[in-house]
Structure 1
Amino acid sequence: MHRLGYLLPPGFQVIALGTQAVFEFANLVAGEPFYAVDNYALGGGEVHASFGVSVQTRALTARSQADTWMVVGVVNPLAAPAAPELLRLVRKLGAQARRTVGLCTGAFLLAEAGLLAGRRATTHWAHAEAMQQRHPDIQVEPDRIYIADGPVWTSAGMTAEFDLALGLVEKDLGAETARAVAHGLVMHQRRAGGQSQHSEMLKLAPKSDRIQQALEHARRNLAGPLSVEELAEAAHLSPRQFSRVFTAETGQSPAKAVEGLRLEAARLMVEQGRHPLEVVARETGFRDRRHLREAFLRGFGTPPQAVRRGARDAAH
């Protein structure tokens, strides 16, 4: 039995409780109760969330035990300092646990407790700069979904907490179980830790279902040519009408938007380091390795080899 201890500060982000469903479904997929979950707070009792929910908790003490501590964030981590006793307990219990996790701005509490010193970490993009300024001994990476640095894991904001939870399941029970859990939760896409917090699909934000359908078609078929005619057919519009509506809704031409989607997918493949650059180029729709390099220099200001080296160095 793997014990998960959720540490809930006053005003905790209510979305964090939803991640417990990941472990619930993992138990169902595994066919046995592998995970057990308890909620804790300093002093115990009823703790109110950021929005309309209260949770009954156990009292957090030096004798509390969990294999993985899940430290939940608050909406504004800079509003009030954490209680010294809470920091002392997090420091002590985190050192004893198998893993300690900072969900979203929960990373601030880990930082204040000294558990992130000398480590890589991430948090909600809106607070990453403040974390770096307050804790210069942490290597804050604001453009990551989640980061596992040894026994300490941190996630980006909000829904990224689910991606981290799935990462924990994969670590404990394997990739097949994690995929089955994601399928059971009807997750549209399971994001890897190295993926950017900023999604090209979200940035484009089309207003109509037709343009959304065209973008979904593009995302699923990046290896193909993805001409305007093909995308227009997916949207059930004429090429001329499609180009006009697409630009009006997204602020970009179809060609520019497709290149952004290709770059996003290619960067993730490059960082994962599982395929040669020739394969990355082919799978994401670039003509060849040279074309991929040109796109990386244009989009990121650095060649794909440098991105891969950086990801490899950061992992060790």
Structure 2
Amino acid sequence: MHQVRVLAYDGVVPFDLSVPVEVFGRARLADGRPAYDVRVCAVTDEVRAGAVSIRAPHDLSALAEADTVVVPGVADLDSAVPGAILDALAATPARLVSICTGAFVLAAAGRLDGRRATTHWAAAAELARRHPAVTVDPDVLFVEDGPVLTSAGAAAGLDLCLHVVRNDHGAAVAADTARSCVMPLERAGGQAQFIAYEPPAPAGHSLQPLLVWLTHNLHRPLTLADIAAHASMSTRSLSRHFRDQTGATPVRWLNRQRIRRAQQLLEQTDQPVERVGSLVGFTSPTAFRESFRQVVGVPPRAYRAAFPPAPRPPRRS
């Protein structure tokens, strides 16, 4: 039987800890036998997990038999993970799976160096900053890079664990497990569709006034020359400053802001999808659909179906 070990440590996120226990614990083979032997391991008998304390029945010696080791997320990115856990992760030959910010623990153990990985979208930039040897993809639900797999935040851990079940035992076992968990076997798109809209740039950036102006003019079909003229710069100088401060070209940055604004309109208004595209500066429905899918991972209509506008209250007579 495939041996799964789930690590527990002070500050672990309870939901992240429960996901692999539930998914792998529910998986059954065609003859009804359990597909996995799942055990929770910790350095100490009891760990603090948010509002609760958890007693782990096994210590780290149980990792010696592991085929898969799962690292749940940590609530505080600055909290110290026990050195014994980092040492065990660095040494184990087992397949490694992280849930959400568990990627920070894998990275601290050196297991993500030279690999592609993901984590919760709100922590992706910090993971890239702390561990420059890791290629961080903030837009996907999970990443499989050889024997190391990482997931985005919260429910994306379910997606990853079901993916592991399918890799190990086939689509039929994975589909039965998904039904048991009341989860779809696959979700369309990546975590980009769940990223909250953020202001274009914090105060203090030299481009901040320009970025604010751009967000107020998303409806206009602005070209690179238009943006440079407003900024009183050459297009070459503008592009250099944009890359330095935003990591993107002006046109790509503007396109992403248009899509983020479109997400807001799809969620908060009942405007037709084609009208939403024109309101954020796209000159054709086709261009809007293609750009939206590239950034968010799903087409605009699918996004609205997932995040429909709240119904309007009835008018008082």
Counterpart of 2:267 (choices 247, 250, 263) is 250
Q: What pairs up with 1:110-189 in 2 under 5 angstroms?
A: 110-187=106-183, 189=184
Which residue identity is paired with 1:91? A
Tell me the equivalent position of 1:6: 6
Tell me the equivalent position of 2:90: 91
> Aligned pair in 2 of structure 1 residues 100, 176: CA closer, same or farther (>3 Å)?
same
Cα RMSD over matched residues? 3.3
Give the Cα–Cα distance (whole angstroms) in 2 for the partners of residues 201 and 125 of structure 1.
7
Which residue identity is paired with 1:180? D
Using the TM superposition, give the Cα deviation of residue 186 of structure 1 relative to its aligned residue in structure 2, in angstroms.
1.6
1:214-269, Cα deviation, whole Å (9 max, x unpaired)? xxxxxxxxxxxxxxxxxxxxxxxxxxxxxxxxx99933344228989xxxxxxxxx
Tell me the equivalent position of 2:186: 191
1:122–1:144 contact (8 Å) kept in structure 2: yes
Give the Cα–Cα distance (whole angstroms) in 1 for the partners of residues 13 and 295 of structure 2.
36
* Aligned sequence identity (%): 34
Counterpart of 2:290 (choices 296, 304, 309) is 296
Which residue identity is paired with 1:71? V
2:265–2:271 contact (8 Å) kept in structure 1: no
- Secondary structure of 1:73's counterpart equals coil
Using the TM superposition, give the Cα deviation of residue 198 of structure 1 relative to its aligned residue in structure 2, in angstroms.
3.8
> Aligned pair in 2 of structure 1 residues 30, 143: CA closer, same or farther (>3 Å)?
farther
Using the TM superposition, give the Cα deviation of residue 54 of structure 1 relative to its aligned residue in structure 2, in angstroms.
1.4
1:160-202, Cα deviation, whole Å (9 max, x unpaired)? 1111110111001111221121112222x3335x831143799
> Aligned pair in 2 of structure 1 residues 116, 166: CA closer, same or farther (>3 Å)?
same
1:74 paired with 2:74, answer yes
Which residue identity is paired with 2:26? F
> Aligned pair in 2 of structure 1 residues 296, 80: CA closer, same or farther (>3 Å)?
same
1:87-144, Cα deviation, whole Å (9 max, x unpaired)? 1111001xx11x1011111110100111101111001111110000011111101111
Tell me the equivalent position of 1:65: 65
1:61–1:89 contact (8 Å) kept in structure 2: no
Gaps of 5+ in 1: 204-246, 261-289, 305-316
Give the Cα–Cα distance (whole angstroms) in 2 for the partners of residues 19 and 257 of structure 1.
41
Give the Cα–Cα distance (whole angstroms) in 2 for the partners of residues 122 and 136 of structure 1.
13
Which residue identity is paired with 1:36? D
Q: Which runs of 4+ in 1 moved over 3 A?
A: 189-192, 198-203, 247-250, 257-260, 290-294, 297-302
1:50–1:74 contact (8 Å) kept in structure 2: no
Comparing 166-175 and 21-30, the one that deviates more: 21-30
- Secondary structure of 1:74's counterpart equals coil
- Secondary structure of 2:65's counterpart equals coil
Output the TM-score relative to the length of structure 1. 0.62
Which residue identity is paired with 1:19? P
Give the Cα–Cα distance (whole angstroms) in 2 for the partners of residues 161 and 90 of structure 1.
19
Give the Cα–Cα distance (whole angstroms) in 1 for the partners of residues 23 and 275 of structure 2.
32
Give the Cα–Cα distance (whole angstroms) in 2 for the partners of residues 116 and 37 of structure 1.
24
Output the TM-score relative to the length of structure 2. 0.62
- Secondary structure of 1:82's counterpart equals coil
Which residue identity is paired with 2:190? S
> Aligned pair in 2 of structure 1 residues 62, 45: CA closer, same or farther (>3 Å)?
closer
Using the TM superposition, give the Cα deviation of residue 56 of structure 1 relative to its aligned residue in structure 2, in angstroms.
2.3
Give the Cα–Cα distance (whole angstroms) in 2 for the partners of residues 64 and 23 of structure 1.
19
